[in-house]
Structure 1
Amino acid sequence: MRNSAVLIAVTLFIALLPHVRATEVIKLTPDTWQDAAPRGKEADRIYGDWVLRNDRIVAVIAEAIPTRNANMTVRNVGGSVIDLTQRDRQSDQLSAYYPLGSLYKLSGGTQRAGKDDAASLRFAGPTEDGRSATQVTYELPDGAPWLKIITRVTNTSDKPLELKPQDAIRADGEFAFGVDDDGALVWAYDKHWRQAYGTLLLDSPWKFVLEEGRRPLLRLEPKDGKAVTLEPGASHEIVRYLFPAADTIEVKALARELRGEKLSSVVLAVTDPDGPVDAADVDVKTAAGASVGHARTDSEGRLKVRLPNGRYQAVVSAQGRGEKTLTWDVDDDLEDKVALPSPGYVVAKITGEDGQKIACKIQFSGQDDTPDPNFGPDSAIHGVRNLQYSADGQARVPLAPGKYDVIVSHGPEYDAVFTEVSVERGRDTPLAATLKRTVDTTGWLSADYHSHSTPSGDNTATQRGRVLNLLAEHIEFAPCTEHNRVTVYDPHLEHFDAKDRMLSCPGMELTGRPLPINHQNAFPLKHKPRTQDGGAPVTDVDPVVQIERLAMWDDGSDKLVQINHPNLVQMVGDKDLNGSPDGGFEKMFSFMDVIEVHPLDNIFERPDQLPGPRDRSNPIFHWLQLANLGYRMPGVVNTDAHWNFHGSGWLRNYIKSSTDEPTQADVHDLVHDSEHGHIVMTNGPFLEVSARAAKGDKVADVGDDLEASDGRVKLKVRVQCPNWLAVNRVQVFVNGKPKSKLNFTERTNPDMFHEGTVVFDEEIPVALDADAHLVVACAGEGETLGPVMGPDRGELMPAAVGNPIFVDVDGGGFKPNGDMLGLPLPIEPGLKPSKPHHHHHHH
């Protein structure tokens, strides 16, 4: 009786449970987000989007509203698939899949009852010309690893309509594309992020023709070559199946499964003497040598693939372990294993002088016949090409046997460690190094005001990798400035246990057209997570309207507004760049605080002509010209980094700060010091500049005003360099002109230049007969930044430039001299510079 009572109670309990569908349609809201929102580097879901999921896959269909964009370049995604990944190993790498491209303006999101417990969503909309309309239906059957997409096009005009349909896919970055099965299957694959996608036309009269490019199109053509024409009121339906997989082998297996073909499973275990091998590459070919596909093992060293019966060769390889070839005779499920030899390992333990953990960049270059390692693509986090980035100075790096040159670095305040290691198979090689902070930057914090990663939409570099770049290069303040989206670095700083090492805040780059003038950064901004663009303002085709909108965003809150990579001639007076003054976009100056002026070494060159469209020419020269016209706009330099291979660190600003602990600094204090020009710009050397009148004790820093009634000024100039770069010239510019008597080189003034960290430390007398702004620059002529900054940026000449010090000689306040420096600007006669608008953030 007791057992019977328990059985009855359990039966009643189960009967009373609410029915739970295996396939679900979920609207993303604050209540459903935690459970339903998929994960992945390219996940773009926000509140209001739709989730379709079963036990196998999860898809996100963007809310069908006109303003729905996945990111800056993946636009008008309403009613399209924007996220798609497997349920048990979520790694969304899809930017968007547009059924019928973006030809139709979809609306709706109607849930419909599908067959066999399928969840269904339907959207509908017309073309802009009104000649046709479509219904787009998404169906996800219970237990299916694919999403069925049905498009039904109706001719809504009064004339016959030839159908020329095309889908579009945005799978960006390292994705490879291919077409199989005579155009029935198109696939895309990113092997590093272990995500592939396939779209299949099953038993269809249509075939795909792939048009590759930055925005690949999947043109649909009739297999028989005959045009498909719809009479008025007639409709035509096309069905395709879209599915995620870990690799191309599984993509093709899913296509075969949909066609009802027999498949057998092959389970492979890859080991070396230390145990399972993660991310071993497996390339499978038929006995005839035709490629079947590529896959990678999981963290347990296992790989499961499904193949039709037949004979195959599998080439198995892994970093530092060489390769082995297996033969599979597949006529039923089988298991196989392969043991690869051990790599050698370099075991790094890098510390600061205090013995504590330190973020760093470790570079491995093979000597002689030893090739450089390739740890991962430019989008990766830790292993990027031949670099290993570490947040704590520790790493265990697999390498092929051989000899390697090694560089360990932590930005230009630290001496780099140059050494070599000899790697033997199966052995650990220790790499112990202490990074010494030899450059004294007391009173200044390093900052990069302009960086990007995959949320920006024009690259696929992981944002976590961007933050690790910044930490490893010792950037102390980095606002988050993705294109057209407000977001934050906080989760990544927490991941690296680095919230006490780098200051950050929400910000953005508002990126509009025309290029390149209509790009502006702002920070700090209010972040509204999981909403369109994180709560950011939208662009405008008028740069003046756009920058004002940005400056006044968040109710005119206290913020820094920066103009990025400007064409200053176009801004100040020549809107159409035809050489004739037309007022330009001069009013932009009313709403900006700082402006990018790199490359720095161009300060030593005078351009021969004014820039044309999409050409910035020599912004630092035009910056000096505008200072002579009375514009006070502090200069900054930033990397504008988009990828993670030496992405951050090769340009930086030093901002005057009341504290040397970055996370104890106040963002608004740094904003205000930036507004006042308390900035030194550099690609490596640390330059300090101050001035005082010969009569008087007041000291003026860069950006400050100084009164010198007799015209005599003493400039204090100090330059420090780490052991991997050199400076051999210091030049003073007076009202933008390089004065020959104020040009000091190691060749002509050897007593002024020194070995060691402090390269130059002099007080320079300057005699002025009128008001002048003084700019000091230093350079390593004939030198380069070298291998610490990689093969591209390493070719740059070391240089640093301070912002101007404004010297008032006559006691009436600083007055600009109007000198065009030999290259007249196309400006209206009597131009008076726009003054900063008095929104809240100007002080």
Structure 2
Amino acid sequence: MELRKLCWVLPSVVLLNWVAGCGSDGEPAESPAAAVRIVSPADGSTVTTFRFDVVVETSATGSATEIAVTLNGVSLPLTGGPQRYVARVEPGPPLRDENTLVVTARTGSRSFRVGAQFRYLPPKAVAKRITQDSELVRGPLAHGRVGDFLLANTVARFVVQDVGQRDLYSVGTFGGNIIDAELVAKPGRDNFLEIQPALNVETVINAQTVEIVNDGQDGTAAILRTCGPDDVLDFVNPSTIIRGAGLTFPDSADDKDYEIEACTDYILKPGKPYVQMVTTVFNNEDRDLGLYVGDYINGSGELEQWTSSNAGLGEILTANLGVLAYIGYGEAEGVSYGVVPLPVEGSPEPRSSFFTTSGVSYIMQSQSIIRVIFGESPNFVVPARGSKSYTRYFVVGGGSGGDVVEAEAEAKGLATGTLRGCVHAGGRLLPGSRVSVLRGRGVAAPYVTGDDGCFVGELPEGTYQVAASRRGYMYEGNSASPVFHPVTVRAGETTEVHMELPATGRLRVEVRELLPGGGASAAPVPARVSVVGFDPSPEPVITLDSIAGQVRTGTFFDIGFDPVPFGLVWLEYAGADGTVEFDVEPGQYQVFVSRGPEYSLFQQPIQIAAGQTTTVHAAIVRVVDTTGFVSSDYHVHTIHSADSRVNLTDRALQFAGEGVDNVIVTDHHAHTDLTPVIERLGLQRFLRSTIGEEITTWDYGHFNAYPLKIDPSRPSRGSTDWAVAAPPGRDFPQYGSFSLSPAELYELAVNGPTSTPNTTIQINHIDSFFQPLRIDTSLVPPQTFLSPEQRLAFRLDPNGGNLFFHFPALELWNGAGRSHQAQFLQQRIGIWMNHLNQGLRTTFIADTDTHEFRNLNTAGARTWTPSSSDEPQNIDPAEVARAVDAGKAVGGQGPYVQARLLAADGSGGIADFTLSGSTDVRSQNGAVDLEIHVQAPLWAEYDTIEIYANAQTTPTLTVDGVPTLFTAVPERVLRLGTDFTRDQVVVRNDVPGAARWETRLTIPFRGLARDTWFVVVVKGSDGVSRPMFPVFARDLRSQGNSVLADLLDGNLGELGTMALAATNALYADVDGEPGFQAPWSSR
């Protein structure tokens, strides 16, 4: 017999033995079972309903004069009699999973006592501590650990992080918050990062205690409670941004510490897909306190954002928030999340508002953010020595924003009806279709059809318009715009609507790489497939005006985050097998196949027909020789960053398809290793992954450190805590809790617990560092002119000294478009050259800072460094970092440029960027020759070569009288046709476009009296060279490009992304003094 069953039987045996001695005058007692019987729940039974009756019967020979029933020691009220008694049991105490019933009765002079054991196991909610891995929620952003807490029912599961910890990871610095959520029916898809209760805009709850208020055994809601003091959320500092824009930020919410504590109850009812969050603020001061309460929310995953506020998908600001929802797509399709704020009791403003920036949303509950920045006082006032609460619901759904609307209606008690329907295409049901339900000019509820091609949801009663869309399909009736179906939803009734999209076509592309020099040998290769033309069924745009400017949102999709560049209908990536297939609307297009700037470009006209698959066989050839050097992108984001939605699979496929050898993943406050994904996809021969981190301060810059290690014990897997931990409730500048200075940050990054012996660091998008810190790099040494008050606003030590620090590398060029190139040449290059002019050897880095996927920012700048192996799988991240520290790097977008500096004194000295070489050369007679070698695929035309030598710099931006951004003046400018030639070198005659442009020239410099550094820049000019469309497809002018033929005519003078490349500095030592003497060394 099982021990548990034995434990149930023993009490009954004991009771029977006790009853046997209870007869009057010592006479044998009547059998308890005969005198009193528990009919239900029967001994050893299991109750599976939430409410049930306890039924007790007495024998027919006599009725009981007294009878009582206890459940787990608590008396139950009885009705009925004299032979049958009933006690109604509702969910709640004293019920638990295993229960004991005891019935005592007296008949005349005789007493009876019987008992029963039963289980109470309806589909309950549960609150418990997680003790084993099998209890965790799974998915791409699942961060729960053993020791965290689980709230679960038969519908949904939520993980609340354990308290008393710190991990500087987006809004999740502190514990005690929801970090994972999933539907039981759709496991393994967690794409949500965290929701953090906010107490006063810049402060949040730093939870220190957690309590299981109710474990759910009694059949009522399971409740967890986390409590703690207020603390600064270091990840954000809204006051500096808002005041910097000339608007008002309330002093009372600017890093102010109050004597307050707060608790959040996480309440999960049985059968519900949402957790009710009730945060209670306790005011320990002798005065009333007004606070701006709400939540910080970071979906972070592969999610589109939608709000029910008369707009579409992708709205970033509203003063009339109904719900805030996140809709999964791609690998996250089938999951959705949302927040439903309820009006704060007694507030004059029932509506909440929200703002989103960099992927993080802030909901201000029962208050308008817009009115607050114009001076409105808090509506949430906590009485002196009292408390006040606010409530919202956190929802996990099955992939539609409509799931959150349904939860809102239930939470607010709105009358609803059912709307259901299906989407067909070509006579078959179409899973994954978008269905938008419009009311007025905005989207009232977005749905995504399930595996059955259908959707269903509860909507508040009213009149709506319903339309369907799917990427790669025309709208109903082969229309260029959606067809809207009017429907009326009535309370308690079901309304049906069905939509029929026309059949579409498919494109299949098979890509093979042919070897240079000839031969029939071909191998599959990853590549990008771009369909050039015009979308015959474009996304309808909903345009609104707000304080943030004009907001453009989509009717079916979020058009603002990751739009395909103008001129492209769609793009996809072939993987290791060189094959990709996808839907394309019927029509005429041009298909292009590319693999970055080292490869030729394939193109072919195609005609897509409905119901048919068009197959294209594409051949590409490596035409640029980079032997001895490997390319890296030093600044890459995935869904582990707060502001990126790109899953790891797509990121690996994309970089392999763009021909980058080494991807350095630098998520904000997180360490990501793509290696397992690369191996799963079979991409080892094409792509290497390096672990990095973008150390992201709010006010004074971002910094990439690499290579790093993984800390598996932390959700961030190893973030660098530049904000510095403080005792709970003391993380405020007023207590001397300051963020690290740049010098301290560097030290922690390169010598921290996840550093490696070769970790190096670069300042990213450097204007975000030198500009806010008011650093003038034209001074020797560079100086900061930030006042003590400004430092304090940045949470820096007001007496911290010079904030300039010499970092090994500067990211001068990050991105893929014209604006990024302009920033490099017009605002940043002079900062770098100011460093060089005063002997601060610093490496120029070109990369993308890509957060997106379809907009092709990934197809942008990259940097090549010398390598002991040309095979991506053999790249040594430490070797890459050492090359950066040594200044051995060249960068480009389109062209590939190398330079050498040769001593012309007969010594044979050479300076170059090779692995075994040196960037310094010594010439005894002041004569050197600068050798320049440029290669580019035929689609990347260049016409200008600039040579910078001890360059003069010019300020281009002054802040508070301090010059912070600088351009530079080249020593010489060489023009195509006048000063150099651009030769065409054919690599294979049998493959169209399998050739490259090549330039080799030597520029002599004679009579140099001072040590001189040299930098080479190669570029294409508007109206002289063609833009690199569609390989680098951004910024092409739409005017004059209205038909397919226009897009294919070369686009000369029509903007677009132009070719650009640059070297790092080579140094000529010519003055006879030991070592290189920088131009400004005598200042």
Q: Superposed, which structure 2 residues align to 1:765-804 within 5 Å?
A: 765-770=1004-1009, 771-782=1011-1022, 783=1025, 784-792=1027-1035, 795-804=1056-1065
CA separation of 1:733 and 1:68: change in aligned 2, threshold 3 A: closer
Q: What is residue 220 of structure 1 aligned with on the other side? A: 366
Deviation at 1:259, TM superposition (A): 6.4
Deviation at 1:543, TM superposition (A): 0.8
Deviation at 1:683, TM superposition (A): 1.8
Q: What is residue 630 of structure 2 aligned with on the other side? A: 445
Cα distance in 1 for partners of 2:859, 2:468 equals 37
Matched, 1:538 2:721: yes
Deviation at 1:247, TM superposition (A): 1.9
The SS at the match of 2:635 is coil
Q: What is residue 510 of structure 2 aligned with on the other side? A: 349
Structure 2: unaligned runs, 5 residues or longer: 1-42, 47-97, 99-116, 231-255, 311-318, 369-376, 477-482, 515-520, 541-555, 723-738, 788-798, 953-967, 986-994, 1037-1054
Cα distance in 2 for partners of 1:716, 1:512 equals 41
CA separation of 1:210 and 1:789: change in aligned 2, threshold 3 A: farther
Q: What is residue 86 of structure 1 aligned with on the other side? A: 183
Q: What is residue 809 of structure 1 aligned with on the other side? A: 1070
CA separation of 1:17 and 1:77: change in aligned 2, threshold 3 A: farther
Q: Superposed, which structure 2 residues align to 1:417-496 within 5 Å?
A: 417-496=602-681
Cα distance in 2 for partners of 1:758, 1:64 equals 60
Cα distance in 1 for partners of 2:206, 2:835 equals 47
Deviation at 1:497, TM superposition (A): 2.3
Q: Answer whether contact 1:446 1:655 (CA < 8 A) is retained.
A: yes
Q: What is residue 672 of structure 1 aligned with on the other side? A: 882
Q: Superposed, which structure 2 residues align to 1:575-586 within 5 Å?
A: 575-576=784-785, 585=802
Q: What is residue 839 of structure 1 aligned with on the other side? A: none
Q: What is residue 286 of structure 2 aligned with on the other side? A: 158
Q: Answer whether contact 1:284 1:312 (CA < 8 A) is retained.
A: yes
Deviation at 1:667, TM superposition (A): 1.9
2:160 to 57, 61, 71: 61
**Alignment RMSD, CA only?**
4.4
1:112 to 204, 210, 213: 213
Q: Answer whether contact 2:194 2:299 (CA < 8 A) is retained.
A: yes
* TM score, norm. by length of structure 2: 0.65
Deviations 1:71-92 (A, max 9, x none): 33x2555333333332322544
Q: What is residue 559 of structure 1 aligned with on the other side? A: 759
Cα distance in 2 for partners of 1:131, 1:727 equals 64
* Structure 1 or 2: more strand by fraction: 2
1:387 to 566, 571, 591: 571
Matched, 1:623 2:623: no
The SS at the match of 2:813 is coil
Deviation at 1:321, TM superposition (A): 3.4
Q: Answer whether contact 1:729 1:746 (CA < 8 A) is retained.
A: yes
Q: What is residue 975 of structure 2 aligned with on the other side? A: 745
CA separation of 1:550 and 1:202: change in aligned 2, threshold 3 A: closer
Cα distance in 2 for partners of 1:155, 1:705 equals 66
2:921 to 706, 719, 724: 706
2:195 to 80, 83, 97: 97
Counterpart amino acid of residue 803 in structure 1 = N
Counterpart amino acid of residue 188 in structure 1 = A
Q: What is residue 524 of structure 1 aligned with on the other side? A: 707
Cα distance in 1 for partners of 2:688, 2:535 equals 42
Q: Superposed, which structure 2 residues align to 1:203-214 within 5 Å?
A: 208-214=350-356
Q: What is residue 588 of structure 1 aligned with on the other side? A: 805
1:244 to 358, 373, 396: 396
Cα distance in 1 for partners of 2:378, 2:878 equals 66
2:746 to 547, 552, 564: 547
Counterpart amino acid of residue 637 in structure 1 = A
Counterpart amino acid of residue 557 in structure 1 = P
The SS at the match of 2:407 is helix
1:762 to 1001, 1018, 1026: 1001
Q: Answer whether contact 2:167 2:719 (CA < 8 A) is retained.
A: no
Q: Answer whether contact 1:690 1:717 (CA < 8 A) is retained.
A: yes
Greater shift in the superposed pair: 476-485 or 366-375: 366-375
Cα distance in 1 for partners of 2:978, 2:1029 equals 25
Counterpart amino acid of residue 388 in structure 1 = E
Q: Superposed, which structure 2 residues align to 1:229-268 within 5 Å?
A: 232-245=384-397, 246-257=399-410, 268=421
Cα distance in 2 for partners of 1:232, 1:196 equals 36
Q: What is residue 431 of structure 2 aligned with on the other side? A: 278
Deviations 1:732-788 (A, max 9, x none): 333337999964321313556557514212344332433332323222233333332
Q: Answer whether contact 2:707 2:756 (CA < 8 A) is retained.
A: no
Q: Answer whether contact 2:294 2:362 (CA < 8 A) is retained.
A: no
Deviations 1:592-620 (A, max 9, x none): 43322338999xxxx9xxx9xxx996332
Q: What is residue 178 of structure 1 aligned with on the other side? A: 308
Deviation at 1:528, TM superposition (A): 0.7
Counterpart amino acid of residue 893 in structure 2 = N
Q: Superposed, which structure 2 residues align to 1:348-427 within 5 Å?
A: 348-353=509-514, 354-367=521-534, 386-392=570-576, 393-427=578-612
Q: Answer whether contact 2:601 2:939 (CA < 8 A) is retained.
A: yes
Cα distance in 2 for partners of 1:601, 1:428 equals 32
Q: Superposed, which structure 2 residues align to 1:3-18 within 5 Å?
A: none
Cα distance in 1 for partners of 2:532, 2:894 equals 22
Cα distance in 2 for partners of 1:536, 1:576 equals 30
Cα distance in 1 for partners of 2:432, 2:119 equals 42
* TM score, norm. by length of structure 1: 0.81
Cα distance in 2 for partners of 1:746, 1:289 equals 54
Deviation at 1:559, TM superposition (A): 1.8
Q: Answer whether contact 1:191 1:296 (CA < 8 A) is retained.
A: no
The SS at the match of 1:559 is strand
Cα distance in 2 for partners of 1:261, 1:632 equals 66
1:23 to 125, 146, 168: 125
Equivalent pairs counted in the alignment come to 788
User: What is the percent sequence identity of the aligned residues?
Assistant: 22
Counterpart amino acid of residue 181 in structure 2 = L
Counterpart amino acid of residue 305 in structure 1 = G
Greater shift in the superposed pair: 365-374 or 107-116: 365-374
Q: Answer whether contact 1:727 1:759 (CA < 8 A) is retained.
A: no
Cα distance in 2 for partners of 1:221, 1:674 equals 49
Deviation at 1:726, TM superposition (A): 0.8
Matched, 1:321 2:474: yes
Q: Answer whether contact 1:209 1:218 (CA < 8 A) is retained.
A: no
Q: What is residue 188 of structure 1 aligned with on the other side? A: 325
Structure 1: unaligned runs, 5 residues or longer: 1-10, 820-828, 832-843
CA separation of 1:279 and 1:616: change in aligned 2, threshold 3 A: same
